[in-house]
A = this chain, B = another copy of it.
Amino acid sequence: MSLGIDEPIREPWRHALEEPSVKDGILVLLVEDEPQMQRFLRASLGSHGFRLLEAATGAEAVLQATTHSPDIVLMDLGLPDVDGIALTRKLREWSRVPIIVISARGREEDKVEALDAGADDYLTKPFGVNELFARIRVALRHAGQSGGEGPGPVLDLGEVRIDLEARRVTVAGSDVHLTPIEYKLLVLLAKNAGKVLTHRQILKEVWGPAYAGQTHYVRVRMAELRKKIERADGPKLFVTEPGVGYRLVAERADEAPPVK
């Protein structure tokens, strides 16, 4: 019965990532106006170590979400002042927090509408706590893996630095002029440093999906890039994977540590 979130389940999918937060740290925003349900969920969640935040109206919910940025939102659709669907859309305008909708309405159209509005899951009352917890774990799992936000405004590759905001590239301190395609190509490779990108991927991202077959384009542009950027940097920055594509070597030795 105590198949709660603290169960020592093996989690093979969570290879090696920052623990988003231990169970005790997880902050749940409960959007619910019905007192009975409030009590029930408050007890269940509380006894499993979640920290709780509550809101009984849409306005409150927005305020709570804004100021405390919870890790997950449980939203009942039956609110007095606002439609839960609209509230979901509102939240989705600026936040990617996981939203699990709880509703007494089991009609298919309701589910579709909520999910398309941005909800991550839809649970019909009555439901079991264990299922709720399992779905919370799934939602947190998703949120955790996209954890780190986009890369900073500056990509640092040893001698080479790319200022994404200024669209400026420097090699060993001095500016290097890149044409539009060269720049897109470099940024694409830099953002995926260490990974091999196939010709197809590169062409689709840089030139557009229609050019997926023009492998030669990549070769010519790549040669130009190498001439401009790889000059001073002794070790090869761009590595050719014959028959596959290209890879930009990652300078930093951090990388994902071994699984075991």
Query: Residues of A with Cβ closer than 8 Å to B?
Result: 1-3, 5-7, 9-10, 12-13, 15-18, 58, 81-83, 85-87, 89-90, 92-94, 96, 108-109, 111-112, 115-116, 118-121, 128, 130-131, 133-135, 137-138, 142, 145-154, 156, 161, 165-168, 179-180, 191-192, 194-196, 205, 241-244, 247, 256, 258-260
Contacts and interface: CB of A to CB of B under 8 A. Distances in A.
Nearest to A178: B241
A176 B145 CA distance: 28
B243 A145 contact: no
Pairs of residues from A and B, 10 with the lowest C-beta to C-beta distance, nearest first: A146-B146, A167-B196, A115-B134, A108-B128, A112-B134, A166-B195, A180-B243, A15-B151, A6-B86, A13-B92
A244 B167 CA distance: 10
19 contacts: A3-B81, A5-B90, A6-B90, A12-B93, A18-B205, A108-B130, A112-B133, A121-B121, A142-B142, A142-B146, A145-B151, A146-B149, A147-B149, A151-B256, A154-B256, A165-B195, A166-B196, A166-B247, A167-B195
A131 B108 contact: yes
Contacts of A89: 6-7, 9, 12
Contacts of A6: 86, 89-90
A133 B116 CA distance: 10
A208 B243 CA distance: 16
Given A17-B151, A116-B137, A165-B195, 14 more contacts: A3-B82, A7-B93, A9-B116, A15-B153, A15-B154, A18-B205, A108-B128, A112-B130, A145-B146, A145-B149, A145-B150, A151-B256, A167-B244, A180-B244
Contact of A259 (B90, B150, B154, B179): B154
What is the count of identical protomers in the complex? 2
A165 B92 CA distance: 29
A111 B131 contact: yes
Contacts of A58: 5
B149 A120 contact: no
A260 B149 contact: no
